[in-house]
């Protein structure tokens, strides 16, 4: 009997301990749940208390999005452009813009004396005091029946190069040449026609396709053509070599801006208040400066430097906006200048500081989203208003539409490219970036672009680009 009582007591104690343990666990679980419910209730009351302000904020966001959405088709680099489908209209508009540029280029060339122009450039080529050797890599673009008419990219580029150098009085400082690398150079009619105005260097058929390699991929062919043009440019004595594609259209200010950047950022710099010539013996050498990058590749998420610009631009706009609002609304008399607050009591000051901080935070978020939706290219366009606003930024691996090289780095680069086989996985621009990292060279990117890519028809891919609006809304096609 006593044993049964003992077993019963033990079972009762076990059950009681399990029940207490269960209640303890239940109580522990209820603590964060109650905290979460309490927090949600507090937030709900706060949101309900500020429902009018929140409604106004949401209304402002809605109006902003609707306004940007209404002009989305005019902003091809914005985040909302993907909701605009006007490919047919863009194709017709691209053709119209290109035909107009081509007409202006031909009219300008008709005013020149072809023989005198070519003789002058040939005499420049024999000089040892050239500032720039500009090679234009060109192939014939054989389009299909979709595009009725001539593209004339090379004509536009050479005409614009000549006009800009004449306007800047620099015709004796440059040597431009057409680098005809077409597989059948005798049928590149546009290059042959322009050969009466400008020096024309032709790559022979045997150099295009060697006997041991009858078939070459387009990427490898592009590399071989580029190396040939680099070797040709290196034969002439100059301070810099510029190699551009035949659809890289120069801006009106490209020569002036380039001279300013080279003289103030590369050749000399301000140190301790004095301008000094840069000595590069103990520093990383300059490899090249890219003069163009596709606007679609300059969004804020593409590069860490672009991301920093996004944050800084947002901070500046938000700060100025809040300051103007505060001066206009909060402190109209401006009697209390030290704190920029019109109230004299500590309580009102503390309230002012808190409200101003909250307003700055909310404005920052609002401007951050608006700047991101519109896109970086439209803000960089503001720098084109003056040559002094252009900047040298850290370069990217993308694209070789227009590149400035230092002649001292070209022999090593040419030798490296000759030993490298370019493929779809390793295109030419990536191969250059590998060489730069290996040799610890510096590269820069000029912002905004000094050359615009007008090639709606791709010579490499043998097709028209899909985003025609990028070529219609060219920033500087003059």
**Which helix (DSSP H) or strand (DSSP E) does residue 276 occupy?**
strand 274-277
Contact of 261 with 446, CB cutoff 8 Å: yes
If one compares 136 and 44, the residue with the highest pLDDT of the two is 136
The more confidently predicted of residues 333 and 69 is: 69
Q: Please provide residue 209's backbone torsions phi and psi, each rounded to the nearest 5 degrees.
A: -130, 110
Task: Say which residue, 353 or 94, is predicted with more confidence.
Answer: 94
Mean pLDDT of 4-12: 61
Give the separation between CA 173 and CA 165, rounded to whole angstroms: 9
Q: How many residues does the chain have?
A: 478
Among 275-284, 363-372, 381-390, name the one with the lowest average pLDDT.
275-284
Kindly state the average pLDDT of the residues 209-235.
79
Residue where the block lists tokens 């043998």: 462
Cα(161)–Cα(138) distance, integer angstroms = 15
What is the pLDDT at residue 336?
45
How far apart (Å, rounded) are the C-alpha atoms in residues 367 and 370? 5
pLDDT for the residue numbered 266:
85
HSE, side-chain direction, 13 A CA sphere, residue 164:
22
C-alpha to C-alpha distance for 62 and 64, rounded to whole angstroms: 5
* Distance (Å) of CA 6 to CA 10, 11, 16: 6, 9, 15
Q: What pLDDT sits at residue 346?
A: 47
pLDDT bin (cut points 50, 70, 90) of residue 187 is confident
Across 46-60, 252-266, 283-297, the highest mean pLDDT is recorded for 252-266
User: How much is the mean pLDDT over the chain?
Assistant: 78
Q: Could you say which DSSP state residue 263 is in?
A: I
Tokens 């389009």 belong to 143
Whether the pLDDT of residue 409 is over 70: the answer is: yes
Mean pLDDT for 318-324 is: 81
What band does 380 get if pLDDT is binned at 50, 70 and 90? Answer: confident
- pLDDT value of residue 255: 93
Classify the C-alpha dihedral 66-71-75-80 as positive or negative. Answer: positive
- The DSSP string of 306-345 is HHHHHHHHHHHHHHHHHHHHIIIII-SS---TTTT-S--S
């Amino acid at each position: 009997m006593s044993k049964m009582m003992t077993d019963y007591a033990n079972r009762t104690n076990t059950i009681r301990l399990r029940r207490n343990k269960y209640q303890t666990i239940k109580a522990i679980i209820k603590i964060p749940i109650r905290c979460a419910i309490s927090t949600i209730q507090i937030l709900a009351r706060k949101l309900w208390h500020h429902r009018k302000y929140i409604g106004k904020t949401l209304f402002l966001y809605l109006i902003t999005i609707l306004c940007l959405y209404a002009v989305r088709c005019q902003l091809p680099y914005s985040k909302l452009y993907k909701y605009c489908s006007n490919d047919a209209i863009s194709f017709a508009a691209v053709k119209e813009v290109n035909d107009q540029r081509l007409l202006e280029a031909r009219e300008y060339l008709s005013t020149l004396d072809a023989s005198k122009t070519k003789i002058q450039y040939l005499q420049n080529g024999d000089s040892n005091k050239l500032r720039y050797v500009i090679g234009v890599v060109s192939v014939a673009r054989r389009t299909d029946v979709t595009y009725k008419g001539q593209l004339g990219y090379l004509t536009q580029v050479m005409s614009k190069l000549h006009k800009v150098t004449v306007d800047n009085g620099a015709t004796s400082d440059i040597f431009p040449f057409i680098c005809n690398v077409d597989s059948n150079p005798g049928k590149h009619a546009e290059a042959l026609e322009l050969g009466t105005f400008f020096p024309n260097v032709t790559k022979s058929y045997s150099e295009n396709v060697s006997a041991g390699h009858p078939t070459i991929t387009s990427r490898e062919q592009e590399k071989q053509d580029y190396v040939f043009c680099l070797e040709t440019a290196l034969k002439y004595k100059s301070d810099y070599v510029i190699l551009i594609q035949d659809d890289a259209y120069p801006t009106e200010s490209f020569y002036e801006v380039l001279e300013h950047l080279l003289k103030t950022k590369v050749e000399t710099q301000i140190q301790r208040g004095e301008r000094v010539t840069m000595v590069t013996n103990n520093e990383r050498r300059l490899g090249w400066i890219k003069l163009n990058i596709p606007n679609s590749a300059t969004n804020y998420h593409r590069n860490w430097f672009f991301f920093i610009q996004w944050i800084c631009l947002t901070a500046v706009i938000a700060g100025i906006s809040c300051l103007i609002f505060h001066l206009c609304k909060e402190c109209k008399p401006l009697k209390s200048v030290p704190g920029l607050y019109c109230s004299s009591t500590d309580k009102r000051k503390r309230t002012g500081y808190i409200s101003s901080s909250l307003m700055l935070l909310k404005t920052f978020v609002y401007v951050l989203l608006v700047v991101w939706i519109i896109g970086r290219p439209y803000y960089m366009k503001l720098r084109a208003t003056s040559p002094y606003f252009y900047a040298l930024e850290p370069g990217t691996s993308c694209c070789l539409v227009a590149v400035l090289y230092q002649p001292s780095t070209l022999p090593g680069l040419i030798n490296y490219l000759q030993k490298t086989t370019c493929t779809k996985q390793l295109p030419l621009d990536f191969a250059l970036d590998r060489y730069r990292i290996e040799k610890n060279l510096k590269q820069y990117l000029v912002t905004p672009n000094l050359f615009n890519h007008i090639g709606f028809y791709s010579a490499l891919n043998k097709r028209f680009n899909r985003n025609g609006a990028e070529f219609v809304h060219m920033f500087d096609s003059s």
